[in-house]
Amino acid sequence: MFEKFEPTPQDPIIKLMGMFREDPRDDKIDVGVGVFRDNNGQTPIMQAVRMAEDRLHDQQTTKAYVGLAGDEVFNTEITKLVFGHDADMDRIRAVQTPGGCGALRMLSDMLYRIASDRKFWVSDPTWGNHYPIFRQSGFEVDAYPYLNRESKTVNVDALMEKLSTLGKQDIVVFHACCHNPSGAELQPGDWDDIAKVVAKNGIFPYFDMAYQGFGNSLEDDAYSIRTMAKEVESMVVASSCSKNFGLYRDRVGCSLLLGESKETADIARAHILSNARSSYSMPPDHGAALVGLIMTDPELKMNWENELGEMRARMLSLRNKMSIVLKEKSNSDRWDFIADHRGMFSLLVLTDEEVESLRNDHGVYAVAGGRINIAGLKDDDQLNRFADALISVTR
Ligand code: LMR
């Protein structure tokens, strides 16, 4: 049977993780995969997560099945976190999924059942896994302009011009905040304009929300989604707790949908559940149960928000420091944009040769195109070594 297979390319980020692991150099630097690290190079278990785990250990009495939609406390809390406390709960449905990837796939599989003739549009550039996920669902996927590769800012004019040509046949994927891979952000006024054109043209909005709380604040990072929800009749959001709760390996995500009415929302939810049943059946419980505990206990919630704030502050401080160090070392303002970006990533717009040289000659692991995970750096000689390597390969 298996001799029929042709080799299949590996996902570039997963491949890079393996290459980094295999590299014997002690001073290697991982700015590849999007995992938050503290200044000791550790990805910490958040304090609130630890406390919730203790509680869960003491309180949990069974490992019996929960259900296709997962933990309903989790689903309600994520709905409020994403759509806000004044959200139209009658029209929003949430289904717990295995991670943000699972949420993305469940939503595109659900949409394919009723909209297989529509086209998916992702930003140029976008997270590498968007293409395979939406294509595996069956959709044709194309790109809309996003990044101005000269200024490393969003090319808002080109984006708006493209949106003005799209309509009822189109599903447009937006990064709710902390654009991956570029780090270049749309501003609130841009989202106001985008929401209006999306509603006017009948475009279906599809949000990927993997970094809520990593940009400016939990509330500010949801502005895009909440603004859109006021303008359109229906939309979807894939939300992830990998980064903001540090629950990467526990696979905690949520498919959210806003329906035209209570009735259409219920039916759409039922289609997600039927797809779930025929793939993984029920999502893993542990991580979602922790999030549910944290979000419904004021003390744990405050602890979580404070620690998340510290993580965000570390990323902002690294950004500022990096742009200052690079300015001094290169004697130019070429890298100033790093301070203006938000979230874990900045796309440095490097050639394949430059990325390879960073890896081979300097032990610095960045994703193709020069995406760096700012939170992967230690604020010590590592930051300086990274800056030296970057200047050396781009000279
Ligand atoms: C990333 O972009 O590095 C993260 O979202 C991890 C992943 O699965 O690719």
Annotated active-site positions, please?
127, 208, 210, 243
pLDDT on residue 380: 82
CA of 128 to the centre of ligand 1 (A): 9
- Beta strand 364-365 pairing with 345-347: unpaired
Give domain 2-44+301-394's CATH superfamily: Aspartate Aminotransferase, domain 1 (3.90.1150.10)
pLDDT on residue 271: 98
CA of 33 to the centre of ligand 1 (A): 6
- Taking CA atoms, 364 is separated from 25, 346, 357, 377, in Å, by 10, 15, 9, 10
Any residues with Cβ below 6 Å from ligand 1, and which?
13, 33-34, 127, 129, 180
pLDDT on residue 379: 81
**Domain 65-296 class, CATH top level:** alpha beta
CA of 340 to the centre of ligand 1 (A): 21
E strand segments, the chain: 29-30, 92-97, 119-124, 140-145, 147-148, 153-154, 170-175, 204-209, 235-240, 253-258, 345-347, 364-365, 371-373
The amino acid at residue 7 is: P
Query: With a threshold of 0.95, does the pTM exceed it?
Result: yes
pLDDT on residue 247: 98
For the chain, the domains span 2-44+301-394, 65-296
Local mean pLDDT, 10-residue blocks, the chain (395 residues): 94 94 95 94 96 96 96 98 94 98 98 98 97 98 98 98 98 98 98 98 98 98 98 98 98 98 98 98 98 98 98 97 96 96 97 97 97 92 95 95
pLDDT on residue 285: 97
Residue nearest atom 4 of ligand 1, based on CA coordinates: 34
